[in-house]
């Protein structure tokens, strides 16, 4: 009987010890525009496909995810932020408003109305690069130079009028929606859960 009580006591003690231990927190996707993204291209693809499982062109998503990681790293932009912004702006590549898929415009650059439907870019790579460069223009001062040749025709505009450190700073500037930053933040929290 003593042995049984002793074993039960050890089990309870071990349970109490391990239940008080905190598990390491899962690393969070930063909402800051500058910096390195947490997720790799496979995780970005998985996030997209989890959100839109019926999307017919997984190869396109994989290509874009690789381009976002590559182009963002070159300019020091957070690829997680850029990728979720692309997802938001294009309706997870559904488009449907002013910007059309063949425009390779993944962030609505220049899209204002029917007369100004947005900018066209010659390839997916140039379109992603323009998006990254536009984020870099918001996140830095004019003294910070691009690492690659500028392909964003609107690059100098944010330097004169705007500055954004986080996705929340984009609300009312990148987009008129006051909830814009919150919507991007919510997508980042979803991205965090992607393995």
Question: Looking at residues 55-80, what average pLDDT do you find?
Answer: 98
Instruction: Give 155's pLDDT tier (boundaries 50, 70, 90).
Output: very high
Task: List, in sequence order, every residue forming a beta bridge with 111; answer none if it has no partner.
Answer: 117
What does the pLDDT read at residue 161?
A: 72
- Helix 180-192 to helix 41-51 angle (10° resolution) is 110
pLDDT above 90: percentage of residues in the chain: 71
Largest CA distance in the chain: 87
Q: Are 123 and 143 in contact (CB under 8 A)?
A: no
Distance in angstroms (rounded) separating the CA atoms of residues 135 and 133: 5
Is the per-residue pLDDT at 68 higher than 50?
Answer: yes
Top-confidence residue, 12 or 187: 187
What integer pLDDT is reported at residue 195 of this predicted model? 87
* pLDDT recorded at residue 130: 98
With 60 as the cut, is the pLDDT of residue 9 above it? no
Angle of helix 180-192 relative to helix 79-90, nearest 10 degrees? 120
* More confident: 128 or 22: 128
Q: Based on DSSP, count helices (H) and strands (E) in the chain, helices before strands.
A: 7, 2
The DSSP code sequence of 165-186 is SBGGGGBTTTBS-TTHHHHHHH
For the purposes of burial, counting CB atoms within 10 Å of the CB of 33, is it exposed (0-12), middle (13-18) or buried (19 or more)?
buried
Instruction: Give strand pairing partners of 113.
Output: 116
């Amino acid at each position: 009987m003593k042995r049984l009580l002793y074993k039960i006591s050890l089990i309870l003690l071990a349970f109490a010890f391990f239940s008080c231990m905190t598990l390491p927190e899962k690393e969070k996707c930063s909402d800051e525009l500058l910096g390195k993204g947490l997720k790799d291209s496979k995780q970005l693809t998985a996030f997209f496909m989890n959100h839109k499982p019926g999307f017919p062109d997984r190869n396109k998503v994989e290509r874009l995810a690789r381009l976002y990681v590559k182009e963002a790293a070159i300019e020091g932009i957070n690829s997680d932020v850029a990728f979720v912004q692309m997802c938001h702006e294009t309706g997870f590549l559904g488009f449907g408003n002013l910007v059309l898929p063949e425009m390779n415009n993944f962030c609505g650059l220049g899209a204002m109305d029917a007369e100004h439907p947005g900018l066209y870019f010659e390839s997916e790579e140039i379109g992603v690069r323009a998006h990254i460069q536009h984020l870099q223009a918001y996140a830095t001062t004019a003294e910070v130079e691009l690492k690659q040749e500028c392909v964003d025709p609107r690059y100098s505009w944010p330097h004169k009028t705007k500055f954004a450190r986080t996705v929340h700073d984009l609300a009312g500037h990148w987009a008129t929606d006051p909830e814009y930053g919150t919507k991007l933040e919510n997508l980042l929290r979803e991205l965090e859960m992607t393995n």
